[in-house]
Amino acid sequence: MSNQDFQRARGERLGALRAAMARHQVDAFIVPSSDPHLSEYLPGRWKGREWVSGFTGSVGTFIATAAFAGVWTDGRYWTQAEHELAGSGIELMKIPAAASLQHIDWLVATLQPGQTVAVDARVLGLAVARLLSDALAARGIKLRTDLDLLDEVWADRPALPAAPVFEHEAPYAVLPRADKLAATRAAMRELGADRHFISTLDDIAYLFNLRGSDVNFNPVFVAHALVEPETATLFVGDGKVPPALRDRLLEDSVQVAPYEEARTALAALESGAALLVDPRRITAGMRAAVPAGVRVVESVNPTTFAKSRKLEGEAVHVRATMEQDGAALCEFYAWLEATLADPHRAPLDEVAIDEHITAARARRPGFVSPSFATIAGFNPNGAIMHYRAQRPGCATIEGDGLLLIDSGGQYLGGTTDITRVVPVGTPSSEQKRDFTLVLKGLIALSSARFPRGTKSPMLDAIARAPIWAAGIDYGHGTGHGVGYFLNVHEGPQSISPTTAPEPHTAMEPGMITSIEPGIYRPGHWGIRLENLVLNRTQATTEFGEYLGFETLTLCPIDTRCLDLSLLRADEIAWLNDYHAQVAARVSPHVDGAARRWLDTRTRPI
């Protein structure tokens, strides 16, 4: 579709939405970036904000009134949003962080008492719904949650995903499904509940040892689940669970029911039942279905904690996966350097980076898919935190500069996520300075020890300190949890200044988290270095148990970008030790050009 045709279609969509608002006497309509499962990455059916606005970022809220339309999103997406919203008449509303709810403040300040705001409760998180309802009520503004206006105007709206569900089997599924269900029921009893309703897709995939392909990059499937004292019900689309798998589920007292019956099952709960729900992981629409006679217990899903704390058997598979992923990266980077050095080569662009790095991973055992859309940004594009190269329009990699590559893979034995920056031509002294400061941040946090139970957001400053010392900062969190052949972004831990240090964010043994500090110079270059690390007990003293990080990611950090004068002796020792480990563990999996590249890039400095 040409840009002119796209702009015309977007205008028609917004016009149709406003006409539907007028029919229903709605003064403002909200389209959040979510689905009935509050997913980060959405199946096509629920990409309503993208459909109406054209903004494709994973975080954002769209609001339309009769005279205004805007998208609220945080700094990671401002450059992208400015480009995608250009010429649409839809305003970019900049907010300071992904957790911000400034659009609620805007509604309260803009609308008048007696006016009506509408949002589909089926895709609105319960916690956000409560904040929205209270804020509007205080202003005398009405809230309707029974309307899905997109259904009225989105003629070719995608259907529910139909891909089959499959089992995550041993040896990779270390803990049997029956054991996970038993542990979940034990946690329910401790919380005083005898029923538990789950909507989040990675929690469901973890609990039942099942996987799917309904969401790009995340091996999950669209479903709800209800866990009861002796049985459990999986609400999933017809035909998605093959008969043989359905029989195996029945052996563990797990029944399969149609996806649409989940709300009905909640409504049918008997009076006196005690239902556990996570208010941050259930929609307002599902919560509203619970009868008044049911006692509702609100707490974090037990599976959220369980899946974050990888078992030692799972860690063994993750380490093996990291060796294979590292080998794939060696093959890719050997190809990249040889290609860039060839004076007779055809032009190389950013999209080719994604194609070749994915192909290298696909040759490795256990590979299933990328774990997110590869970010390959050369020079100014590297400063766009969630950049996605597309043809036409992406950059050609030539001349001098820095190429940032953030990529990852889904393997049967784990999920990977890594960022590296490589020099093209000769890096400048300023680029080397920034690169070295980012490395110092990575080393600082990678080397830290801290008491077990430390709230994960409190660790963020350790990585920023060397960067802050130079009067520089970066506009994203330092680390996120990572799943085990599950979502590449996983809670409950989050090493970020925008995450509240609540009890459920405590660091515990077995958690896998990213460490990814950065420096971004808009219009010039971006630098981010990212490794995944595993929480492990390092010492037990009279002051308690202390955790530290085992670095899992195995890929060289390019020493050609370093300003050695900025590194202390202990930081150089850390880097040399890391490279020695990378060489020892990855070299058995590569040969030829990849082995030669690995040997060169892991030489001590």
Nearest to 177 by CA among 254, 264, 234: 254
What share of the chain has pLDDT > 70, as a percent? Answer: 99
Does residue 159 form part of some domain? no
Does residue 160 form part of some domain? no
Tokens standing for residue 554: 């195995």
Mean pLDDT, residues 224-253: 97
Residues 550 and 515 in one domain: yes
Segment 384-440, tens digit of pLDDT: 888 888 888 889 999 999 999 999 999 999 999 999 999 999 999 999 999 999 999
Residue-level pLDDT at 97 = 63
- The strand order across the sheet containing 69-74 reads 91-95, 69-74, 61-65, 28-32, 116-118, 142-144
Q: What pLDDT band is residue 1 in, cutting at 50, 70 and 90?
A: low
Kindly list the distances between the CA atom of residue 175 and the CA atoms of 128, 179, 196, 224, 413, in Å, as whole numbers in the listed order. 34, 7, 20, 21, 13
Residues 556 and 427 in one domain: yes
CATH code of the domain containing 262: 3.40.350.10
Residues 288 and 234 in one domain: yes
Rg (CA), the chain: 25
Tokens standing for residue 483: 């799943």
- The strand order across the sheet containing 409-411 reads 367-370, 409-411, 414-415
Kindly list the distances between the CA atom of residue 56 and the CA atoms of 62, 407, 428, in Å, as whole numbers in the listed order. 12, 19, 33
Q: What is the dihedral of CA 492, 31, 497, 572, to 10 degrees?
A: 80
Segment 52-91, tens digit of pLDDT: 999 998 889 999 999 999 999 987 788 888 889 988 999 9
Residues 352 and 463 in one domain: yes
Q: Is the pLDDT of residue 519 over 80?
A: yes
Q: What pLDDT band is residue 99 in, cutting at 50, 70 and 90?
A: low
Residues 454 and 393 in one domain: yes
Residue-level pLDDT at 212 = 97
Segment 532-553, tens digit of pLDDT: 999 999 999 999 999 999 999 9
Distance, in Å, from the CA atom of 460 to the CA atom of 504, rounded to the nearest integer, reads 16
Does residue 158 form part of some domain? no
Does residue 492 form part of some domain? yes
Residues 336 and 286 in one domain: no
Q: Is the pLDDT of residue 350 over 70?
A: yes
Q: Which of 313-317, 390-394, 497-501, 521-525 has the lowest mean pLDDT?
A: 390-394
Nearest to 172 by CA among 408, 368, 417: 368
Residue where a domain stops, chosen among 274, 304, 334: 304
Q: Is the pLDDT of residue 225 over 90?
A: yes
CATH code of the domain containing 439: 3.90.230.10
Nearest to 478 by CA among 517, 505, 534: 517
Domain total in the chain: 3
Preceding amide of 457 cis, omega within 30: no
Residues 492 and 567 in one domain: yes
Residue where a domain stops, chosen among 304, 321, 344: 304
Q: Distance of alpha carbon 432 from its chain centroid, rounded? A: 29
Q: What share of the chain is helix, strand, coil (3-state, %, to 5)?
A: 40, 25, 35
Does residue 449 form part of some domain? yes
Residues 592 and 542 in one domain: yes
Residue-level pLDDT at 546 = 98
Does residue 83 form part of some domain? yes
User: Which of 7-16, 313-322, 390-399 shows the highest mean pLDDT?
Assistant: 313-322
What share of the chain has pLDDT > 90, as a percent? Answer: 89
Residues 386 and 434 in one domain: yes
Residue-level pLDDT at 444 = 98
Residue-level pLDDT at 379 = 95
Residues 131 and 266 in one domain: no
Segment 139-177, tens digit of pLDDT: 999 999 999 999 999 999 999 999 999 999 999 999 999
Residue where a domain stops, chosen among 153, 185, 218: 153
Tokens standing for residue 332: 């890719």
Mean pLDDT, residues 480-498: 96
Residue-level pLDDT at 77 = 84
Q: What mean pLDDT value characterizes the chain?
A: 95
Residues 69 and 175 in one domain: no
Helix (H, G, I), strand (E, B) or coil at 345: coil
Q: Is the pLDDT of residue 231 over 80?
A: yes
Domain range enclosing 149? 3-153
Produce one character per residue of 482-498: b if its CB has 16 or more CB atoms within 10 Å, e if not: bbbbbbbbbbbbbbbbb
Does residue 476 form part of some domain? yes
Does residue 161 form part of some domain? no
Residues 327 and 398 in one domain: yes
The DSSP 8-state label assigned to residue 492 in this structure reads E
Q: Is the pLDDT of residue 98 over 60?
A: no
